[in-house]
Chains A and B, each alone.
Chain A
Amino acid sequence: MANQKDTLISIIESISKRLIEAEKTLTDLDSPAGDADCGSGIRRGFEAVIKTIPEFGQMELGDILKKVGFTLAYTIGGTSGAMLGTGFIETGKSIGDKKEPDARDWVMALENALAVIKRRGGNTQIGDKTLVDSLEPAIMAMKNIIDSDKVSNSFFQSGIESSNRHLNMFSVIEAAVAAAKAGSEQTVEMIARKGRASYLGERSRGHRDPGSLVIVIMFEAALESLKK
């Protein structure tokens, strides 16, 4: 039976590959209202993450996430690197020593991470046109599923090796993908209130925020990985 560590590692691999492939898309989005470095920054960050994957076998879940976070913050640099990095680092802190966190543990860890991202960004809110615009709806959607008792709380369904073994986390992430997409779509018409795009005022309207798309791609990649 696959353990969570292997699952997490394969999710990280999947996210890294998808984001590296998305470089041009992200660059194009970042050109009108940014400085066109989103794509290359993300690629640099996740190429560095891939290089660290061989070390993960020796590490616990919490430390794997922290390592990914520090690698991203260090390599991407700037505020976006810091925010993405914070997300992974804080999630890793919440997961801590747990070897088999359940779905609720994961969602709460992500929720804590989101709170730190928002605080560190200077009290970022939905509507500021940042990655929070897709991340917050995604996490709220995950919380709704967990709280609604529609799925049992265990990460895997009763340890049975089957094509449904990731069913619970799968439904949770599925909801996250839909919410993240909707949130990212909303950013198109927003005026940026944070980051470099915020200096452009009206001119930042009409373009999707690339950071919000990064979040969408991450959840999609995680979902794909869980399908396997």
Chain B
Amino acid sequence: MKKIINKSEEVVAEMLKGLALSRPDSIGLIPEKRIVYRKDPYLNKVAIISGSGSGHEPDQAFYVGKGMLDAACAGPVFAAPTLDAIVDSAKLVDRGRGVLFLVKNYTGDRANFEMASEMLEFEGGPVVDTVIINDDVAVKDSTFTAGRRGVAGAIFVYKIIGAKSEEEGVNLPQLKKLAMEVNENIRTMGFALKSCTTPAKGSPTFDLGEDEIELGVGLHGEPGRQRTKYKPANEVIKIITDSVIEDLPFICGDEVALMINGLGGTPIGELYIAAGIVHEILKNRKLKVFRTYVNNFCTSLDMEGCSVSLLRLNEEFKRLLLAPADIPVKYF
């Protein structure tokens, strides 16, 4: 295994150190707790926090900033962030208007956020509420999940809620309601060409034959809907996109935001090939694309593959998607 790492146990700490040094004016770091927080001063808003295992970068530490997340808790690679980090992050970013946890649906993440929420209540800490994100259509229950997984579509939730939370007078119940509404309008599905390799294990997380692909793969390599023979892009992207469209279902006349999300190991150019194919499919289905987002948004280390997400839009979602966000992963 060759990676740009030193000791595998230090991977997350070193990554966060690099982030903090790259963005010294806007990003703060509590290294012992692996909490990344927004450094610019802000008052009088509901604080928005997310967290999950590391290995999905830029999700979430790189979405911390004005207009998106106020703090992110980074767990070990593919393992949930711990209670103490979540509790401390809530106390750190609370500005007296309460805290909203945005949590992707995985058992470990849910348990720790739930317990953190209870501990804060027990101690008379900031008022907290939680929204669970579960946009993945691939499987009904997964290896680490009861119910659908939360995957790349979560980024839409962070963006829209982060933007809304900057508006004056918005309160915690309103943000919770909005987050649930956004979640209900997102559908995602992905596939893998090649497994990821975690630093700790040093070898592929799962076995995938040279000529095989995993449809509906999970962000930690969990099994998907089907293992099948490799197909050219036109075919596999159509299978994935049709599954996403038919699940909500998105219907003729709907306006959508489209995300083509690289899983980490796939060249950006290939993501744009996928984007082109999806655009044709959506045109045939008479779905109107408001904006297209093509990049690595929520990865699985070095997994090769991508996911397709559609968010059904209304005027408010559109406005909030377009609002600026001052986050590390902005190119210029």
The residues of A with any CB-CB pair to B shorter than 8 Å are 63, 66-67, 70, 73-75, 77-79, 81-82, 85-86, 89, 120-122, 199
Contact B82 A86 (CB under 8 A): no
Set B82, B87, B123, B144: member contacting A82, Cβ < 8 A:
B82
The verdict on B223 contacting chain A, using a C-beta distance below 8 Å, is no
Query: Whole-angstrom distance between the alpha carbons of A77 and B88 in the complex?
Result: 13
Given contacts A66-B122, A70-B119, A73-B119, contact A120 B111 (CB under 8 A): yes
Query: Whole-angstrom distance between the alpha carbons of A82 and B123 in the complex?
Result: 17
Given A70-B122, A78-B82, A120-B111, 19 more pairs with CB closer than 8 A: A66-B122, A67-B122, A70-B118, A70-B123, A73-B84, A73-B115, A74-B84, A74-B87, A74-B119, A77-B83, A79-B108, A81-B82, A82-B112, A82-B115, A85-B115, A86-B115, A89-B115, A89-B118, A121-B107
Chain B, 184-218, CB within 8 A of any chain A CB: 200-201
Set B84, B115, B201: member contacting A75, Cβ < 8 A:
B84
Set B83, B200, B201: member contacting A85, Cβ < 8 A:
B83
Query: Number of A-B pairs whose CB atoms are under 8 Å?
Result: 43
The residues of B with any CB-CB pair to A shorter than 8 Å are 82-84, 87, 107-108, 111-112, 115, 118-119, 122-123, 144, 200-201
Residues of A within 8 A of B200 (CB): 199
Lowest 3 CB-CB distances: which A-B pairs, in order?
A120-B111, A77-B82, A70-B119
Set A63, A66, A74: member contacting B83, Cβ < 8 A:
A74
Residues of A within 8 A of B201 (CB): 199
Name B's interface SS.
Answer: helix
Query: Whole-angstrom distance between the alpha carbons of A121 and B80 in the complex?
Result: 12
In the assembled complex, the CB of B39 is this many whole angstroms from the nearest CB of chain A, namely 25
Residues of A within 8 A of B112 (CB): 82
Residues of B within 8 A of A70 (CB): 115, 118-119, 122-123
Query: Whole-angstrom distance between the alpha carbons of A188 and B99 in the complex?
Result: 44
Residues of B within 8 A of A74 (CB): 83-84, 87, 119
In the assembled complex, the CB of B27 is this many whole angstroms from the nearest CB of chain A, namely 24
Query: Whole-angstrom distance between the alpha carbons of A81 and B83 in the complex?
Result: 9
Contact B84 A77 (CB under 8 A): yes
Contact A82 B84 (CB under 8 A): no
Contact A122 B87 (CB under 8 A): no
- Select from chain A the residue with minimum beta-carbon distance to B198: A199
In the assembled complex, the CB of A14 is this many whole angstroms from the nearest CB of chain B, namely 24
In the assembled complex, the CB of A62 is this many whole angstroms from the nearest CB of chain B, namely 11
Query: Whole-angstrom distance between the alpha carbons of A85 and B200 in the complex?
Result: 27
Residues of B within 8 A of A82 (CB): 82-83, 111-112, 115
In the assembled complex, the CB of B47 is this many whole angstroms from the nearest CB of chain A, namely 20
Residues of A within 8 A of B83 (CB): 73-74, 77, 81-82, 85
In the assembled complex, the CB of A76 is this many whole angstroms from the nearest CB of chain B, namely 9
- Select from chain A the residue with minimum beta-carbon distance to B85: A77
Contact B108 A122 (CB under 8 A): yes
Query: Whole-angstrom distance between the alpha carbons of A199 and B119 in the complex?
Result: 31
Instruction: Identify 15 residue pairs between A and B in the complex whose beta-carbon atoms are under 8 Å apart, listed by A's number.
Output: A70-B122, A70-B123, A73-B84, A73-B119, A74-B84, A74-B87, A82-B83, A82-B111, A82-B115, A85-B83, A85-B115, A89-B115, A89-B118, A121-B107, A122-B144
| Interface hub of B108, B119, B123, B144 (most chain A Cβ within 10 A) | B119
Residues of B within 8 A of A78 (CB): 82
Residues of A within 8 A of B87 (CB): 74
Residues of B within 8 A of A77 (CB): 82-84
Query: Whole-angstrom distance between the alpha carbons of A124 and B143 in the complex?
Result: 12
- Select from chain B the residue with minimum beta-carbon distance to A70: B119
In the assembled complex, the CB of B124 is this many whole angstroms from the nearest CB of chain A, namely 12
Residues of B within 8 A of A75 (CB): 84
- Select from chain A the residue with minimum beta-carbon distance to B201: A199
- Select from chain A the residue with minimum beta-carbon distance to B86: A74
Query: Whole-angstrom distance between the alpha carbons of A78 and B108 in the complex?
Result: 10
In the assembled complex, the CB of B10 is this many whole angstroms from the nearest CB of chain A, namely 14
Residues of B within 8 A of A86 (CB): 111, 115
| Interface hub of B87, B108, B111, B123 (most chain A Cβ within 10 A) | B111
